[in-house]
Amino acid sequence: MDLAQSILEGNRLALARTLTLVENDQPEGQKAINALFAHTGRAHLIGITGAPGTGKSSLVNQLARHYRRPAAGMPARQVAIVAVDPTSPFTGGAILGDRIRMRNLSGDAGVFIRSMASRGTLGGLAATTASLVQVFDAAGYEIILIETVGAGQDEIEIARLAHTTLVVEAPGLGDDIQAIKAGILEIADILVINKADQSGVENTERALRGMLELAHPTRRPFLGEANPTPENETPLWIPPIMRTIATADEGTPELIEKIGEHRQHLLESGEWQQRERERLSTEMRMVLRESLLQEWLAQIPDGAYQAALDSLYQRQISPRQAVQQLLQNNKETKP
């Protein structure tokens, strides 16, 4: 079976198989991506992140359900969910999670759910997620929901994959989590207070608003963006704060509308294209770096690497000195 061709024809089995090959970094998976790549670039990638206990997964399910319904002027969209949980050591947990979720969205061929709990794959979690998303994108999934837990470096890298990032909070999770909130504001395009029927929702909203003002005191571009200069002024996007009750399906249509507005903003400001390019450029650089290392290791004399390691273990040289020595010796021994 030609996997890429079958995927383009809408074969779900081929899709599932390719996702597994890609996740396990198999050559056949890469071959499929090469063939599919020209068909990517159409999907809206939506990242959803937040601490455990915020009801993030229920919200993702509701979003999927709503995207599946034709609405005013909007056809039903094909939806993929990629759930990334690097903190779970038991892949069994991820599989179980899939089954429970499948029940809620079952019977709908327009939704495809994939959980990843792996870490430490060659390119890292973010690289594998990027590849999975490319497969879904080529397969015609117009909405790709990427769900992550927490606010580590990993989550921030995965969030960078997305065009639109939702950060989910919930009332009453305590003021202790201010630090996480502060860090995650950098990546939030939309802030969602889920479980908005719980007490303390006003406090949470006030706290978030305060932090937003701290982060955008003079309506500057997001932290981490280039410094604003007069010639590249674009309309600014200040992350709105939305309230939802995912378990009662309240607030989802308004949230979807806001996600659409953000997409429009990205397209009009040129940021959509800019984010795409940054993403592809980063991916290429990572693959190149790893390839160069593998090539180089394959051609150095036997034992050279181990000899450098031994000197390092005996603390005769520092890690950087060991690398300098390896590079130097290899040059000298070449014709």
Least distance from C-beta 158 to a second copy, angstroms?
Answer: 10
CA angle 15, 89, 152 (to 5 degrees): 90
Least distance from C-beta 185 to a second copy, angstroms?
Answer: 7
49: helix, coil or strand? Answer: strand
DSSP result, 7-30: HHTT-HHHHHHHHHHHHTT-HHHH
Q: Do 200 and 172 form a contact (C-beta atoms < 8 A)?
A: yes
Site for a second copy in 63-102 (CB under 8 A): 85-90, 93
Least distance from C-beta 21 to a second copy, angstroms?
Answer: 14
Among 288, 301, 328, 333, binds a second copy (CB under 8 A): 288
**Any idea which residue has 């207070």 for tokens?**
193
CA distances to 154, 182, 217, 221 from 132, rounded to whole Å, are 16, 29, 38, 30
> Which of 46/184 has CB closer to a second copy?
184
Among 5, 24, 291, 328, binds a second copy (CB under 8 A): 291
Kindly state whether residue 190 participates in binding a second copy, applying the rule CB under 8 A: no
Kindly state whether residue 153 participates in binding a second copy, applying the rule CB under 8 A: yes
Kindly state whether residue 280 participates in binding a second copy, applying the rule CB under 8 A: yes
Which region, judged by CB under 8 A, interacts with a second copy, from 2-10, 107-115, 172-180, 232-240?
172-180
Q: In angstroms, how far is CA 333 from the centroid of its own chain?
A: 44
User: How far apart (Å, rounded) are the C-alpha atoms in residues 47 and 38?
Assistant: 23
Among 46, 47, 50, 154, binds a second copy (CB under 8 A): 154
Which region, judged by CB under 8 A, interacts with a second copy, from 58-66, 102-110, 243-251, 320-328?
320-328
> Which of 125/256 has CB closer to a second copy?
125
Least distance from C-beta 39 to a second copy, angstroms?
Answer: 8
Site for a second copy in 6-35 (CB under 8 A): 30, 33-34
Among 179, 235, 302, 335, binds a second copy (CB under 8 A): 179
Contacts of 61 (CB under 8 A, 6+ apart): 101, 104, 105, 246
> Which of 106/218 has CB closer to a second copy?
218
User: How far apart (Å, rounded) are the C-alpha atoms in residues 139 and 323?
Assistant: 43
Among 41, 210, 260, 270, binds a second copy (CB under 8 A): 41
Least distance from C-beta 157 to a second copy, angstroms?
Answer: 9
Residues in the chain: 335
Which region, judged by CB under 8 A, interacts with a second copy, from 38-46, 104-112, 226-234, 246-254?
38-46
User: How far apart (Å, rounded) are the C-alpha atoms in residues 262 and 165?
Assistant: 10
User: How far apart (Å, rounded) are the C-alpha atoms in residues 200 and 182?
Assistant: 19
Tokens found for residue 138: 């080529």
User: How far apart (Å, rounded) are the C-alpha atoms in residues 131 and 283?
Assistant: 10
Site map for a second copy, 193-232, x if CB under 8 A?
Answer: ----------------------x-------x---------
**Any idea which residue has 């397209």 for tokens?**
267
